[in-house]
Amino acid sequence: MMTMQSAGLLKTRATKPYLNPYVGGLFLGLVLFTAFFITGNGLGASGGLNRLVVLVQDAISPEHVDSVPYLLSMAGGDRNPLNSWVVWMVFGALGGGFMSGFFNGRLKFETNKGPQITKRQRWLLAFIGGMFMGYGARLARGCTSGQGLSGGAVLSVGSWAFMLAVFAGAYALAYFVRRVWN
């Protein structure tokens, strides 16, 4: 639980500038290369989040999980859906993001929005967009990090097509939602 003293610590930390994006991209490439070299797997988050959902499904309705081959491969019988490297990578990414925000003075509660939209509308749009992205990630068999970084790095045609579709869709949708940011 956050105390007033720790909340004050968050407010008094000096904000450090962001890393140069080219340097950050170089570090990300080195992390991706190291992940492929050591584990034989790339980076991605949707598989880990999917396994967390399957954990809940297995707790609520194990007979359903045991009857669906896709779910059975992750949590059927006595299998633990958390017994996968991708689950722990998601927790590591969340922890690393939290630590980076804390140590660089950017850990705070805020809602970024344009002047023409309320906080409630912004959260609603973010939730709806997140639902579409989550569904699309499972449909495409990977999220933007898994498809864009890992798939793109190994020159997967499907991953390149996915990322082109993501950018095209984002540009097309931006025309219709631009008023909320102006």
Residue 78: the pLDDT is: 84
Judge residue 4's burial from the number of C-beta atoms within 10 Å of its C-beta, 0-12 exposed, 13-18 middle, 19 or more buried. exposed
CB 65 within 8 A of CB 71: yes
Q: Which amino acid is at 108?
A: K
Confidence of residue 8 (pLDDT cuts 50, 70, 90): low
CA distances from 156 to 81, 105, 144, 147, 150 (A): 27, 38, 13, 9, 9
Does residue 61 contact residue 68 with C-beta atoms inside 8 Å? no
The confidence band for 179, taking pLDDT boundaries of 50, 70 and 90, is confident
* pLDDT, mean of residues 72-94: 88
pLDDT tens-place string over residues 133-173: 888 888 877 788 888 888 888 898 988 998 898 899 889 98
Name residue 46's amino acid. S
